[in-house]
Amino acid sequence: MTTSTPASAAAVDLGTPHVRWSVDRGVATCTIDRPDRRNAMTGAMYLAVRSAVGIMNASADVHALIITGTGDSFCPGGDLAGGGNDSEALRVAIAAFGNQITPYELIRRSAKPVVAAINGTCQGGGLLTAMVSDVVIASDRATFRVPEVIRGVADANFAAYLPAHIGVARARDLILTGRRFDAQEAFTLGVVSRIVPHDELLDAARAAAVELVRGAPEARRIMKRIINDRYGDVDSMALDASIRGPEAREGFTAFVEHRAPSWIPAGFEPDGRL
């Protein structure tokens, strides 16, 4: 039987048209929806995902949250190649607010469960969002990447989170090379917990949310706190300094200009951008 959701929980404006909120039988869905930029995140979009987590936890009528994307992309991270000055504006916003603008710690410490439904390209901030969710379900079409180092950014979130997920040797491989990997490798490595056929993704995400909600709330919170201790501390000061630094500026600019960054030694340059 379908139950109605009060208007207070259903009618939510997250502050940007590119992140949508909906509720179905007590499970909210936060949909990243900016197809013209393959769901690349602006500062307002990062804040919208933060808001979605907060609204879910404050609502008596919403018991879990699914985060997903539209089209062939979940989220490739921040918008480095948007129109106008979007890439510089994002760099400045992150430099000014650091981890306060991103949703990772809120998701990681959310009292209510969060499920990531990875429908396509998942990189950078999108991958961090997925990794700190309680259950990560990937479409068999999904692809993954940790591109921060090749953009000139020392992202302390990945340095803290990824080794705890998959081990130091595998984390070094993904972080230091920035190579792409598919859904099967992501599952084998332990980056995601489940793979499903693409057309079954949202049904599988809802089923996982229902499973999570059936757990005792206080027991779930205690177990999450213990699990979270495995991550260690995120060196936000190092990340903030890196974002403000010359390598990040060059990495962002090279991406926008479709060229190799200037730090690559002669003879090692790729064809086009990394």
**CATH, residue 94:** 3.90.226.10
What is the value of pTM for the model shown? 0.90
User: For residue 217, what is the enclosing H or E element?
Assistant: helix 217-228
Is 205 in contact with 137 (CB distance < 8 Å)? yes
Q: Does residue 180 lie within any of the structural domains? A: yes
- What is the per-residue pLDDT for 96? 57
Q: Does residue 26 lie within any of the structural domains? A: yes
Q: Which residues form the domain of 196?
A: 7-201+208-256
Give the whole-angstrom CA distance, residue 136 versus residue 129.
10
Give the whole-angstrom CA distance, residue 148 versus residue 15.
27
Alpha carbon 106 to chain centroid, angstroms? 12
Q: Does residue 268 lie within any of the structural domains? A: no
Between residues 5 and 72, which one has the greater pLDDT?
Answer: 72
Flag whether pLDDT at 194 surpasses 80: yes
Tell me what the pLDDT averaged over the chain comes to.
90
Q: Does residue 264 lie within any of the structural domains? A: no
Residue 82: pLDDT band with limits 50, 70, 90: low
- What is the per-residue pLDDT for 1? 34
Q: Does residue 266 lie within any of the structural domains? A: no
- What is the per-residue pLDDT for 8? 53
Is 182 in contact with 189 (CB distance < 8 Å)? no
Q: Mind spelling out the 3-state secondary structure of 85-134?
A: CHHHHHHHHHHHHHHHCCCHHHHHCCCCCEEEEECCEEEHHHHHHHHCCC
Q: Does residue 220 lie within any of the structural domains? A: yes
Q: Does residue 271 lie within any of the structural domains? A: no
Most confident of the following: 6-10, 30-34, 241-245: 30-34
**Which residues is 69 bridged to in the sheet?**
32
State the total domains in the chain.
1
User: For residue 171, what is the enclosing H or E element?
Assistant: helix 168-177
Burial (CB count within 10 angstroms: exposed 0-12, middle 13-18, buried 19+), residue 78: buried
Average pLDDT over residues 97-107: 79
Average pLDDT over residues 15-20: 92
Q: Does residue 269 lie within any of the structural domains? A: no
